[in-house]
Structure 1
């Protein structure tokens, strides 16, 4: 192989082969080094040895194209410390960073690209710089200065360092990939740990209906996992603009803030609840005027305020504080935000559950009132009409009066049985074992006996096979309510009750020839009269229509869904 004169004058063929073999062996160790910092030091040391240089350095380029790391060999730690600053990428270093080809010069000071040295930098003369590239990607550079046994670096030195740069490119790329892998593994491990804690907290939130217990356990688990020293939870009072501190945890201080109650929009806590934006602070901070002055006497250095949000807005604020030397990182902040969202949702669900129970109680009270009005109260009213009729008969038909009194006693006993049954299961058994037509027939018989008003009842003798108990009971109670209203208000002389069916409905029409009324002026109140009938029909999937005019009587038409049963 033909070699340049300067190489042949300084190196024999055997010497060059020895250097190449030594470089190859050393470079194999480079690619095994997975620590980027120690790798850069080894590259610089190996470059010094191979080129017989006094000083060497390896610069690594970051994603922004600037020097990210600069490792030197040949200068003592004291010499490095005395320099005003490390290289920043100017002069020959900057030229090499922008070049794809090596730079080799005999005198640094005489080169127009040289920018001089910072204060206390040792003098240097000869220079050899080689880019470290992997394909088209620039990873860094190898710098060599002051050839020890010659005035300048040779072409052979350049070739050796270029080979070293090729090995270094692979080694640096591997080390970076390994570092990224380790970082991703750490992030994945933390995320798995986060998920494990989230699962634990979710179990706590889903198995308890005690807000105080959920807040206490969730905050304790959070502080323990993130190794935070102090935590507090402020919750918004229902239907109020007041935020109340409901729980404090941490031995360093008994409270973080001057007040345990703030209005939404007031101070830092109120502002966080108002705009739903997390806030991070480094203590001390002049903005935190509402902070407890005793915080200054603790080791607390960082504080975070996280909104507790639900689907209907802000429910409170979570506050944590720590003595860590470093602020909360992005992953920890995201985790805090997730916990805050979960806790807010859990509190909202519990409050909605409580409201649902309250509503259920109110609805049950309404149902009880409606059932009492439609059933027991109407029965008692009917007894009153019977006794009133008996009083009228006392002077004309004593035997008939006794019969009416006996009937009233029987009706009262029946009502007592209904009351007892109602107390037992809060549902009067008005239909007993009857079908719909039998039940309506009984109501009609009682109405005629109590009012002496004739009633015409028309309907299928076989009833309505396939009608559900709920649909039949709705029709029964609507009939009972309508007949009671006729007895109390209509002053009718005749009543007609017609029940029939279509392919998908059972219909009921009750008509009287009484004095009628103006439907637009009827006061509809929940639990009474017309409203009861509408509620019962709609609960069964049907509806009620009322037609009436003063002096023209009243017609009530109601329907419920019906699907006729098919014989087996």
Structure 2
């Protein structure tokens, strides 16, 4: 084999190896850089350039060069944009080889500062039948470019087309994968928050879960929720710093970054916001950067979820972080709106219940106590006109009886409002006093069976005040219903601590009733509301002619 044939065989092997290496690379920028280096090495050209065509295929969207340093490029008045000789391949994408650039009819010379160039080789790169760009090589070291150089660069352009397409597909697939991962992460954040707040209707608990999870998901130093209250914003929950001096902090909604995020209805990066944070928050948090995402439910703004100072890779938050926080905010807004709705509904029920109680007290004061006092006044008026001692004594005795009845009635009303014995002595003595009072004014025989750990010495502390009051009110209302409506001859009351619950049962042998026809006068709404506040449950068993049994359970909590 001749030396020429051996060199050609070696060049072919080397080109194949270089092409395989090029195709194996998946980073587009690296592919293009290697393409220029390989083209220079196999042709021994001094200068190499790659003009990447724009979408219209009429000019360059980018120009990569090799062999010309930055200082030289800086002195060139204007870099090529795909006109003149370079544009020839744009118009006619076929290989072009010249011994002298200046001899071509399309040559328009070089701009000021451009180094002189002589020989020229241009080869187009096609990807899936569409022009991607052109390889330009000038000034071969040992003469002009020949047919072998052209064949080698044409082959290289084929390898390059495969490598560029692979890199572009890889990057497109990577982008789609990132998009899917971001969507999955956002969905996971939404699901996690929805699962965490599901079934929770206390607003403060919902907000505490939201700020804790949001802070953890994006590794923030601080997370907080500010809610709208009229024209102001109120810090309602915070995680990452002591909440003592922050919760309840108010600032004007207008002119604040939070208000800005609400107006735009999208996430706002603190470093891009045209406004500064409110003075109190800025002074106490001293954030370097942050992300504020509006909370809105069915188009109604509720407030803002904000995270500040990313701990890893921060302090700024990425667009991916914004997607995660937006996912948290979407689920959080539903939880917040639900909790606010429950709180508003509970407030309305509480107000209605309070109004019913006021009407009842008004009726009882008017129908009995005030009537007794009015009668007493008439007796005293008549007494002033009497001279007979026996008559005076009789009227005085009647007046004393009327006065005692009025005092007893007032004591009864006061006890219903808030029995002092419950505060002073506890639930056991309070229930005994209640049964005694009810038994004294009722023909029914009331029996009482009580078991409390604090009274028996098996518990070191009384029940929590909320638990004691709920227990007392359930028994009180059940006894009231039995005495007033059942016509019972016997009423039994059992209250005992069993395992981790207080078990309450009030049973009577009265006329019973149809539970489906029950009306509000029985006070069951109030009992259920009180039990819900302490995590309790209520059950009612009744039938016409079969008596009534009220059962309730309350989780045990003790005073600290």
1:367 deviates by: 8.0
Partner of 2:526: none
- Alignment match, 1:171: 163
Q: Which residues of structure 1 form unaligned runs of 5+?
A: 1-10, 385-411, 435-467, 478-568
1:242 aligns with 2:226: no
Provide the C-alpha distance between the structure 2 equivalents of 1:96 and 1:326, rounded to a whole number of angstroms: 49
Is 1:353–2:367 an aligned residue pair?
Answer: no
1:100-147 CA distance string (max 9 Å, x none)? 322333333454544555665432222211111122222232211112
CA shift, 1:309, in A, is 1.0
Residues 265 and 273, structure 1, Cα contact 8 Å, conserved in 2:
no
SS of match in other structure, 2:101: coil
1:79–1:120 contact (8 Å) kept in structure 2: yes
1:332 maps onto 2:324 in alignment: no
**Matched residues in 1 for 2:76 and 2:245: separation?**
49
| Distance in 1 (alpha carbons) for counterparts of 2:349 and 2:283 | 51
C-alpha distance in 2, partners of 1:274/1:14?
Answer: 75
Contact 2:121 2:137 (8 Å CA) reproduced:
yes
Corresponding residue SS for 1:122 = coil
Q: Does 1:219 align with 2:211?
A: yes
Q: In structure 2, how many angstroms separate the alpha carbons of the residues matched to 1:68 and 1:225?
A: 40
Structure 2 match to 1:522: none
Say what the alpha-carbon RMSD is for the aligned residues: 5.0
Deviations 1:447-504 (A, max 9, x none): xxxxxxxxxxxxxxxxxxxxx9345667xx9xxxxxxxxxxxxxxxxxxxxxxxxxxx
2:501 matches 1:469: no
The verdict on how the C-alpha distance between 1:275 and 1:294 changes in structure 2, with shifts beyond 3 A counting, is closer
Deviation at 1:173, TM superposition (A): 0.7
Q: Does the C-alpha gap of structure 1 residues 142 and 235 become closer, same or farther in structure 2, counting only changes over 3 Å?
A: same
Deviates more, 1:134-143 or 1:196-205: 196-205
Tell me the equivalent position of 1:341. Answer: 330
Q: Deviation per CA, 1:264-301, whole angstroms, max 9, x where unpaired?
A: 44444334445645444536x7x426654996999966
| 1:503 aligned partner | none
Q: Is 1:150 aligned with 2:143? A: yes
What is the CA-CA distance between 1:165 and the residue it aligns to?
0.9
Indicate the residue corresponding to 1:288 in structure 2. 275
8 Å CA contact retained: 2:190, 2:330: no
Report 1:71-220 matches (<5 A). Answer: 71-76=64-69, 79=72, 87-114=80-107, 116-117=109-110, 120-151=113-144, 153-206=145-198, 208-220=200-212
Q: Distance in 2 between matches of 1:429 and 1:296?
A: 62
In the alignment, the residues of structure 2 paired with residue 106 and residue 146 of structure 1 have an alpha-carbon distance, to the nearest angstrom, of 9
Structure 1 residue 350: Cα displacement = 0.9
1:306–1:90: structure 2 CA closer, same or farther, 3 Å change rule?
farther
TM normalised by structure 1 equals 0.55
CA separation in 2, counterparts of 1:141 and 1:111? 18
- The aligned counterpart of 2:295 is 308
Give the C-alpha shift of residue 162 in structure 1: 1.5
Q: C-alpha distance in 2, partners of 1:255/1:36?
A: 53
Q: Secondary structure at the match of 2:49?
A: strand
Q: How far off is 1:174 after superposition?
A: 0.9
Q: Is the 8 A contact 1:371 1:427 kept in 2?
A: no
**Whole-angstrom CA distance in 2 between matches of 1:206 and 1:326:** 32
Secondary structure, aligned partner of 2:65:
strand
How far did residue 19 of structure 1 move? 3.6
Query: CA separation of 1:244/1:293 partners in 2, compared to 1, >3 Å: closer, same or farther?
Result: closer
Q: In structure 2, how many angstroms separate the alpha carbons of the residues matched to 1:62 and 1:150?
A: 33
Taking the TM superposition and a 5 Å limit, the aligned residue runs for 1:393-472 are 413=442, 423-424=477-478, 427=481, 469-470=514-515
Aligned length: 395
Counterpart-to-counterpart distance in 1, 2:203 and 2:331? 13
Could you say if the C-alpha distance between residues 293 and 134 of structure 1 is closer, same or farther in structure 2, counting changes exceeding 3 Å? same
Match of 1:317 among 296, 301, 304: 304
